C-alpha cells in the first residue's frame, strides 16, 4: 500500500472491494495510459480505442445498469470516487474529462429518455463504440443555463436546431450530443433536451486550444438548420431543465474528488523532490519551512477528503442538499490551488518545465474553479439556498 491510497485504509467508508477496484484501475492506468499521456497531451485528444479498452476493463460501465452493458451490482458511489482518484494518478485532468465524458452526457438519457432511446444509445456508449458529450454552455453565457439561446423549432416529425454551444468537452470526437435547446418561452420552463447526431448536416465544429486539459478535445459547435428526429427528445418538451439540474450534484462531487486526487499527486511529487533534492548540505525536507509546507498540504487535502466522503455518504443515504455540493466544489478547487502552488514552490524551477506533474496540475487549477459552476456562482447558489434571497 502506498501513501497515495493509505488514507482509504483509515476511512470507514471504504472496504476491500474498493481497494480491489483501485488496484484493477491502477494496473489499467499503468499499462494503457501512463506510457502515452504526454503524447496525447501534445496531440490534443485521446485515441478512440482507449474508450474501447476502458470499456473492456469495466471502467466505462462502472455503476451503470447491467441491462445496458454496465456494472452496477455490488458497486456504490464510493467505488466511483475510487475510480476518479485512480484516473488522476497521471496528473492530467483532461484524461478523466474526456474518457469519462459519458458521465455527464449519458445520465440525462437514462433518467428521462424513452426506452427506445436508452436502448439505442447506452449500450454502444458503455461498450466504448460511441462517444456522447453534453452541450449546455453557450458563447453568451455559461452558468446562466436558464437563459440559453439555441433554438429547436418543431417541423413535422423533426426539430430544427439553430444556434451554438461553446467549450464542449469531447465536442470534436462526439458521436452524440445531449444538447440543451429552447423549445418554449423564456427562462427555465422553455428548455428541452435533445440527442443530436453530430454527423447531421448543418453541424460544424471548431477545435479550441486550451491552457490545460490538453488531451481532452474541446469544441465550439454551430448548428445551422440541423434536423433532429422528434424521437430524440429526452424527456418531455420544455422539461429539460430538471434533467440539467439533476446532473450538477454528481458532477460537482466528482470534480471535488478529482481535486483531492490531483492534490495528492502534486503533494507526492513535491515530497519525493524534497527528500532527494539537497540544498545547503541537506535534503530539502530537512528544512523546517519545507516540512511545514508539506504538512499544510496534507492538512488541506485530508479536510477536503473528509467532506467529499461525507457528501458521498449523504447521497448514498438520501439526505444530501444541493448547497453542500456547491460549497464543497469551492472548498476543493481552492484547496487544489493552494496545494499546487506550494508544490510548485517546493520543486522550484523544475515546476516550470514541461514534464513534471505539478506543472500540468498547476495549469489546470483554473478549469476546476470555473467548470461546473464558478466559485462565485457556487457560493451565491449556496447562500440563496441556505439563507434566502432572490
So what's the architecture of 242-388 in CATH? Up-down Bundle (1.20)
Reference 56, options 143, 135, 129; nearest CA is: 129
> What values do phi and psi take at 237, rounded to 5?
-60, 140
156 sits in which H/E element: none
Name the H helices within 277-320. Answer: 288-317
Average pLDDT, the chain: 93
DSSP string, 174-211: -SEEEEEEE-SSSSGGGEEEEEEETTSTTEEEEE---S
Q: What is the pLDDT of residues 182-196, one digit of tens each?
A: 999 999 899 999 999
Q: What is the pLDDT of residues 195-222, one digit of tens each?
A: 999 999 999 999 999 999 999 999 999 9
Give the model's pLDDT for residue 355. 82
Q: What is the pLDDT of residues 98-128, one digit of tens each?
A: 999 999 999 999 999 999 999 999 999 999 9
Mean pLDDT throughout 377-383? 92
Give the model's pLDDT for residue 1. 37
Q: What is the pLDDT of residues 243-292, one digit of tens each?
A: 888 778 888 999 999 999 999 999 999 999 999 987 888 888 999 999 99
* Res. 3: pLDDT tops 70: no
* Res. 390: pLDDT tops 80: no
Q: Which residues pair with 227 in a beta bridge?
A: 160
8-127 has which fold?
Butyryl-Coa Dehydrogenase, subunit A; domain 1 (1.10.540)
Give the model's pLDDT for residue 283. 87
* Res. 93: pLDDT tops 50: yes
Give the model's pLDDT for residue 2. 47
What secondary structure, in 3-state letters, does 23-79 show?
HHHHHHHHHHHCCCHHHHHHHCCCCHHHHHHHHHCCCCCECCCHHHCCECCCCCHHH
The domain segmentation of the chain, as residue ranges, is 8-127, 132-238, 242-388
DSSP string, 323-340: HHHHHHHHHHHHHHHHHH
Give the model's pLDDT for residue 129. 97
The percentage of the chain sitting over the pLDDT mark of 90, rounded to a whole number, equals 83
Give the model's pLDDT for residue 87. 97
Superfamily of domain 132-238: Butyryl-CoA Dehydrogenase, subunit A, domain 2 (2.40.110.10)
Mean pLDDT throughout 26-36? 97
Mean pLDDT throughout 10-22? 94
Reference 186, options 144, 222, 135; nearest CA is: 144
- Strand 278-279 relative to strand 158-169, pairing: unpaired
122 half-sphere exposure, CB direction, 13 A CA radius: 25
11 sits in which H/E element: none
* Res. 5: pLDDT tops 60: no
Distance CA 186, CA 253 (A): 30
- Of residues 180 and 146, more confidently modeled: 180
Amino acid at each position: 500500500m502506498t501513501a497515495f491510497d493509505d488514507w482509504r485504509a483509515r476511512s470507514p467508508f471504504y472496504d476491500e472491494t474498493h481497494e480491489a477496484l483501485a488496484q484493477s484501475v491502477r494496473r489499467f492506468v499503468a499499462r494503457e495510459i501512463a506510457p502515452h499521456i504526454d503524447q496525447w497531451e501534445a496531440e490534443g485528444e485521446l485515441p478512440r480505442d482507449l474508450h474501447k479498452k476502458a470499456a473492456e476493463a469495466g471502467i466505462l460501465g462502472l455503476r451503470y445498469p447491467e441491462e445496458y452493458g454496465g456494472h452496477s451490482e455490488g458497486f456504490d458511489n464510493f467505488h466511483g470516487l475510487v475510480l476518479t482518484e485512480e484516473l488522476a494518478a497521471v496528473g492530467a485532468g483532461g484524461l478523466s474529462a474526456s474518457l469519462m465524458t459519458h458521465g455527464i452526457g449519458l445520465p440525462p438519457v437514462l433518467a428521462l429518455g424513452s426506452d427506445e432511446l436508452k436502448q439505442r444509445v447506452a449500450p454502444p456508449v458503455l461498450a466504448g463504440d460511441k462517444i456522447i458529450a453534453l452541450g449546455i454552455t453557450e458563447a453568451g453565457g455559461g452558468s446562466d443555463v436558464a437563459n440559453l439561446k439555441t433554438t429547436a423549432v418543431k417541423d413535422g416529425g423533426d426539430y430544427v436546431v439553430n444556434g451554438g454551444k461553446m467549450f464542449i468537452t469531447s465536442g470534436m470526437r462526439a458521436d452524440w450530443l445531449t444538447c440543451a435547446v429552447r423549445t418554449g418561452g423564456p427562462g427555465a420552463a422553455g428548455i428541452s433536451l435533445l440527442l443530436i447526431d453530430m454527423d447531421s448536416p448543418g453541424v460544424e465544429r471548431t477545435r479550441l486550444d486550451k491552457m490545460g486539459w490538453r488531451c481532452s478535445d474541446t469544441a465550439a459547435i454551430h448548428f445551422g438548420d440541423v434536423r433532429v428526429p422528434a424521437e430524440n427528445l429526452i424527456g418531455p418538451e420544455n422539461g429539460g431543465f430538471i434533467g440539467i439540474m439533476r446532473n450538477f450534484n454528481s458532477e460537482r462531487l466528482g470534480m471535488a474528488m478529482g481535486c483531492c486526487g490531483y492534490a495528492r499527486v502534486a503533494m507526492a511529487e513535491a515530497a519525493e523532490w524534497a527528500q532527494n533534492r539537497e540544498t545547503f548540505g541537506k535534503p530539502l525536507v530537512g528544512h523546517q519551512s519545507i516540512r511545514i509546507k508539506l504538512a499544510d498540504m496534507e492538512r488541506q487535502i485530508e479536510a477536503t477528503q473528509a467532506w467529499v466522503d461525507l457528501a458521498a455518504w449523504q447521497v448514498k443515504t438520501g439526505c444530501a442538499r444541493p448547497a453542500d455540493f456547491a460549497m464543497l466544489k469551492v472548498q476543493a478547487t481552492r484547496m487544489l490551488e493552494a496545494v499546487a502552488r506550494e508544490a510548485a514552490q517546493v520543486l522550484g524551477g523544475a515546476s516550470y518545465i514541461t514534464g513534471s506533474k505539478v506543472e500540468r496540475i498547476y495549469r489546470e487549477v483554473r478549469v476546476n474553479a470555473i467548470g461546473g459552476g464558478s466559485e462565485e456562482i457556487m457560493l451565491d447558489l449556496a447562500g440563496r439556498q441556505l439563507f434566502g434571497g432572490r
